[in-house]
Every structure is written in structure tokens, then in C-alpha cells.
Chains A and B, each alone.
Chain A
Amino acid sequence: MTSTGIGRRAASGTTGFLKRSQPRYVEKAVRVLLIAASLVSVLTTVGIVIALIPPAAEFFGKVSFGDFITGTDWSPLFKPPHFGVLPLVTGTLMVTLIALLVAVPLGLGAAVYLSEYARPGVRTFFKPILEVLAGIPTVVYGFFALQAITPLLQDIWPGGEGPQVFNALSAGFVMGIMIIPTIASLSEDAMNAVPNDLRDGGFALGSSRMQVATRVVFPAALSGIAAAIMLGVSRAIGETMIVAVAAGGRPNLSFNPLEGMQTMTAFIAAAGIGDLPTGSIGYQTIFAVGALLFVMTLVMNLVSIRLVRKYRQVYE
């Protein structure tokens, strides 16, 4: 900026005046820093895998994978120990199933309402409530399930034996409520991505609002809705505190929702609390069950991410 006057003549005649005499070190350093920061998330995944594999491998050196995956008795800290993971898997699936029975209809109902019916004023009332539901710590959900929902169920249970103090039903129910925001907001995104032309087409053919919602918008948003449900399943499988508090700590190969049962996550938490010595088989079970949990949720997540990309490609 040495020239006087406003107009500046380019230094014509001297070649190379558009080149930079010295490299822009700051720009280069920033780029390196940014890439390094981005690698942290990659390293997190690598770290998870590295954390899981060696102890899990040692575990499967002692216990055959077949026994692990088909065994029906899980008592790793007893003598003699049994390492059949099925009770934890069925416990997880039971609670997840109950949660989905609650969350899928309610979450989708909420999404259809918010996307197809609600006036802006109604939206600004309900959306924050869903956000609050999503923001409540899960240990609080667990507390509510154990202290309020279970006694309530025991009181109103019609005849026969009611739910036990720890049971899959209460835990699954509050977990379902917890997942509603996940399913509702992702499904609503998918429905909002459906172009209005399609709706107008439906209305022009004389369809009612309900027919447009169920026969036009819902099918068009199906891959996004499927993604939302998959993510909900992933969250249910991975949720720890609700089941640790309300579903009990006893591995139980049962399909009775009124009984207590231990999930994979609740087992990991319980074993982790025990501060087991590194290298012991008890310590290694954490990683074996953890690896199974990680793989199950990974599959769900990847399918979900795929489905979301698919609907984005179609409509955006």
C-alpha cells in the first residue's frame, strides 16, 4: 500500500508480480492444525476399537465364541463361571422392544402432527418440550421408573402377580418416552423434506389431510422414518442408566416383562463399578460384551446414516 492516489497501476513489465515472495506460513499452519483436529474424531473410533479388541481377544482365548453367543447362563463372577451372553442379549432386546412399542407410535404421531397439522404457535410450544425431554439425564428417567412408574403399575395391576421391584416394563416404558424426541425430530425432518408439490397433488385429487399424511407424505418420507427408528433402536440398545436403575442386575433369560433382567449395558456398568483388576477374566468380560454392543449399534447407525443420505439425495 505504498502508492499515493487512489488508482494503483499494476507493476506491468516486471514479471512475477502476481506471485507471492514468501509462502503464507499462517495459512499453511492453520490447515495443518485443522486437519490435526479432524483426526481426533477418527482417532476416537480407532481408540474404541483398540480398547475393545485386545481384552476381548484374550477373553475369547479362554471362552469359545460359540459358548459365549449361544450360552444361556451368564454368571462370570461366580465359581464356576458361565459365559453365555444370551440372557443379557434377550434382556436388552426385551427392554428395547418395549421402548419401541412406546416410542414408534408416539414419536411418529408427534412427527406427523408437527409436520402436517401444527400451526406455528403450536409448534413453538411442543418443540421445546420435546427438546427438554431429550435433555433430561437418563439417571433421572431411571429414578422415575423405579420410584414412580413401578409402584404405580403394582398398584393398578389387575389380579395375579404384578411387576417385580425391578422389571423390564417400567424401564422399557420410560426409555420409550426418552426416545420419542429422537424419532419425532428425525422423522419430522424427513417429512419436511417431502416437496409440497406432492402434497398439493394429493389435495388436488380430493384427498383429505389424513389421506395426504398417511398415503403421500408418510411413504415419501419412509427411508427417513426408517432411519429415525433405527437410530432410536440404537439409542435404546445403548442406554445404560435407566436399565441399571430400574431393570435390575440379575441376568435372566425370560420374556416376561414383569421380571427384572440385566441388559448388556447394565452388566458393563455393574462390572465396571467393581474396579476389576486388569487382565482378569471378569475385566475382560466388559470388553467382550462391549464389543458385541458396539458392533450391534454400529450396524444400526450405519444403516441409519445410509437411509438419511438416500432421502437427502432424492429431495435435496
Chain B
Amino acid sequence: MASPSEAPVSASGTSVPQVSYRDAPPLITPVFEVGGLSVFYGDHEAVRDVNMTIGGRQITAMIGPSGCGKSTVIRCFNRMNDLIPTARVAGKIRYHDEDLYGRDVDPIEVRRRIGMVFQKPNPFPKSIYDNIAYGPRVGGFKGDLDDLVEETLTHAALWDEVKDKLKTSALALSGGQQQRLCIARTIAVKPEVILMDEPCSALDPIATAKIEDLMEHLAQEFTIVVVTHNMQQAARVSHRTAFFTTDVGAEGERHGRLIEYDETARIFSNPSDQRTEDYITGRVG
């Protein structure tokens, strides 16, 4: 399972503890094929010319300094950028050979297949049960909701913690539990892909570890794309890693760029781009 590799050396010269990277499954069944993707906010080109292929049933991490456009890119994958009136997308994102931004594509259908978990846990101010049941309800679910809720919570390793308080407010849960509830809520809709936008940035290390375990577990059935500012997290959980950074143009304008995208083991042990190496060894932040 794990392939031992050289430990990266940080800027101060101290060795980062040995990490065991996960083998990346081959990209036989691409889920997303991104070609020449640029995202504009008004006249500003926030992200320029991203090209990458994201494989199914594995975890793809997006890392890079803040402002590099990684969150902007992940929000294109389920058309959350539609909510920003000034946002405009150029280039192509194909999802199973279907153009995500095609003319007749219904963003609602897209989001039922491609769910999203956000930076800050954002449970609805309702009961735990209603949080899980919300997605199926709005999707017109006709089966037994109780079963679905139990199945989902069990799947998200949350059932034992909450089974006695399903009717209590989700806001009473701890931050880590709230975030796992948000993940559970997402899989209750039975999507194929789960996008996670810095899902652990508001959590303590113990809660983070639980989420990482959950991600690994879910990757057996779901395709997960995770944006993180935590390099160790990317190294620990992901199969492939995309490194983004900010390019400063001729007139001082800043664009997010995809610098390097490869198997995680390679990105962290033997990156091909100097900027990637500088970033992962902590020379630039």
C-alpha cells in the first residue's frame, strides 16, 4: 500500500518525519477532464489556463499558497461559482465526457452528482436527522428516510455518537462532529464526487484526524477532491496532488496557475518544478 520515499527537507534544514504515500490508482476512468480553464471575476482573471484530469475513486488534493485560485477551481466542479454574479468561466470542464458548462446543463443535476463540503462546518439550524434528510427530501426521495439516515450516518462513522440524539439540534455538536455531519449530509444524496474546500481548517488536530480517516474510508466508493492549505494532510490522504500558485503578470495583475499535477508521492519527493519544491519545503509560504 505505502511506498516509502525520501523525506522532504524543510527550509530550516530539519527533516520532516517520514511519510508513507499512498499508491495512486491509474487514471483509467477519468471523472473530470479540465482543459484551458480560466475563471474571471468581472474583468479580473483569477485563474488562468488550468489543465488536469481527475480520476475516479481516489483522493485528489489541491495545494498552494492562499489566493492561488485552488478554491476558485474546486467551486467550478459543481458550479458553485454560478452564485457569484460577476464570475465567468472559460475553457472546458468535462464530467464523464459531458460539458459541465454546456448550454442545457442543469446546475441542480450537477450538484446532486457532485456534492461539496465547506471550509467552516455549516449544518442547518435543524436537527441532526433533518440535516441528513434534507438532500434526499429536496431530491424527491421516496424510500424509507429513517433507514437512509441510519445507513448514511453509519457510513460516515457518526451513527454511534449521535444515534440517541437524532432530534437534537445539529448546532449542539462539536465542530468536528458538525463537519462530519456535513460530510454525511453530502453522501446522503448519493453523489459520485465529493468536493471538499479546506474541510479541516476550522478544526483541531484530533477532529482533523477523524475527518482524514473518514476521507480514506469514503475514497473506496467516492471520488474526492480536496483543497487544503495543510501540506501534511495532502501528503497523508491524497493519491494525486495539484500544486497551484500565483503568477504576477506584466502589469502587476495576479492569476492563479496550476504549476504541477502528479502522483502525491512524486510531488512531495521529487517535484519537477522548482516552485513546487520551494513551496513544499517551506521556502515560500
- Interface residue B221 (Cβ < 8 Å from any Cβ of A): yes
- Interface residue A42 (Cβ < 8 Å from any Cβ of B): no
With A and B bound together, what is the CA distance between A17 and B96 in angstroms? Answer: 10
The smallest beta-carbon distance between A184 and chain B, in angstroms, is 34
Q: Give me 12 other A-B pairs in contact (C-beta within 8 A), A18-B110, A19-B104 excluded.
A: A6-B151, A8-B113, A8-B190, A8-B191, A10-B96, A10-B113, A10-B192, A12-B97, A13-B96, A19-B106, A19-B109, A24-B108
With A and B bound together, what is the CA distance between A45 and B142 in angstroms? Answer: 48
| Chain A: CB-nearest residue to B152 | A6
- Could you tell me if A18 and B190 are in contact, using CB atoms closer than 8 angstroms? no
Across the interface, which residues of A come within 8 angstroms of B140, CB to CB?
1
- Could you tell me if B222 and A18 are in contact, using CB atoms closer than 8 angstroms? no
With A and B bound together, what is the CA distance between A198 and B170 in angstroms? Answer: 42
The smallest beta-carbon distance between A25 and chain B, in angstroms, is 13
- Could you tell me if B97 and A3 are in contact, using CB atoms closer than 8 angstroms? no
Across the interface, which residues of B come within 8 angstroms of A20, CB to CB?
104, 106, 108-109
- Could you tell me if A6 and B187 are in contact, using CB atoms closer than 8 angstroms? yes
| Chain A: CB-nearest residue to B223 | A7
Listed by A's residue number, 6 A-B pairs whose Cβ atoms lie within 8 Å are A1-B136, A1-B139, A6-B187, A8-B191, A18-B95, A18-B110
Select B221's contact among A6, A11, A18, beta carbons within 8 Å. A6
- Interface residue B155 (Cβ < 8 Å from any Cβ of A): yes
- Interface residue B13 (Cβ < 8 Å from any Cβ of A): no
A10-B109 CB under 8 A given contacts A1-B136, A1-B140: no
With A and B bound together, what is the CA distance between A6 and B194 in angstroms? Answer: 13
Contact with A along B122-154 (1 / 0, CB 8 A): 000000000000001001111100000001100
With A and B bound together, what is the CA distance between A8 and B114 in angstroms? Answer: 10
Instruction: Report the number of A-B residue pairs with Cβ-Cβ less than 8 Å.
Output: 62
Select A10's contact among B95, B104, B187, beta carbons within 8 Å. B95
Across the interface, which residues of B come within 8 angstroms of A6, CB to CB?
151-152, 155, 187, 190, 221
**Which residues of chain A from 139 to 182 have a CB within 8 Å of any chain B CB?**
none
Across the interface, which residues of A come within 8 angstroms of B273, CB to CB?
none
A18-B141 CB under 8 A given contacts A1-B136, A1-B190, A6-B187: no
Choose among A3, A8, A18 the residue with the greatest number of B CB atoms under 10 Å from its CB: A18
With A and B bound together, what is the CA distance between A12 and B113 in angstroms? Answer: 12
- Interface residue B98 (Cβ < 8 Å from any Cβ of A): yes
By DSSP majority rule, is chain B's interface helix, strand, loop, or mixed? Answer: loop
Chain B residues with CB under 8 Å of chain A are 29, 31, 95-98, 100, 102, 104-106, 108-110, 113, 136, 139-143, 151-152, 155, 187, 190-192, 221-222
CB-CB nearest 8 A-B residue pairs: A7-B221, A12-B96, A20-B106, A8-B190, A18-B105, A19-B104, A1-B141, A10-B192
- Could you tell me if B142 and A18 are in contact, using CB atoms closer than 8 angstroms? no
Across the interface, which residues of B come within 8 angstroms of A13, CB to CB?
96-97
By DSSP majority rule, is chain A's interface helix, strand, loop, or mixed? Answer: loop
The smallest beta-carbon distance between B181 and chain A, in angstroms, is 16
The smallest beta-carbon distance between B30 and chain A, in angstroms, is 10
- Could you tell me if B192 and A9 are in contact, using CB atoms closer than 8 angstroms? yes
Across the interface, which residues of A come within 8 angstroms of B187, CB to CB?
6
The smallest beta-carbon distance between A80 and chain B, in angstroms, is 62
Across the interface, which residues of A come within 8 angstroms of B136, CB to CB?
1
- Could you tell me if A18 and B192 are in contact, using CB atoms closer than 8 angstroms? no
- Could you tell me if B139 and A18 are in contact, using CB atoms closer than 8 angstroms? no
Across the interface, which residues of B come within 8 angstroms of A1, CB to CB?
136, 139-143, 190
Across the interface, which residues of B come within 8 angstroms of A16, CB to CB?
98, 104
The smallest beta-carbon distance between B15 and chain A, in angstroms, is 39
**Which residues of chain A from 76 to 125 have a CB within 8 Å of any chain B CB?**
none
With A and B bound together, what is the CA distance between A3 and B141 in angstroms? Answer: 12
The smallest beta-carbon distance between B114 and chain A, in angstroms, is 9
The smallest beta-carbon distance between B152 and chain A, in angstroms, is 8
With A and B bound together, what is the CA distance between A20 and B113 in angstroms? Answer: 13
A17-B98 CB under 8 A given contacts A1-B140, A6-B187: yes
Across the interface, which residues of B come within 8 angstroms of A3, CB to CB?
190
With A and B bound together, what is the CA distance between A16 and B95 in angstroms? Answer: 11
The smallest beta-carbon distance between A21 and chain B, in angstroms, is 9
| Chain A: CB-nearest residue to B148 | A1
- Could you tell me if A18 and B102 are in contact, using CB atoms closer than 8 angstroms? yes
Across the interface, which residues of A come within 8 angstroms of B152, CB to CB?
6
Across the interface, which residues of A come within 8 angstroms of B31, CB to CB?
10
Across the interface, which residues of B come within 8 angstroms of A24, CB to CB?
106, 108
- Interface residue A64 (Cβ < 8 Å from any Cβ of B): no
With A and B bound together, what is the CA distance between A118 and B102 in angstroms? Answer: 57
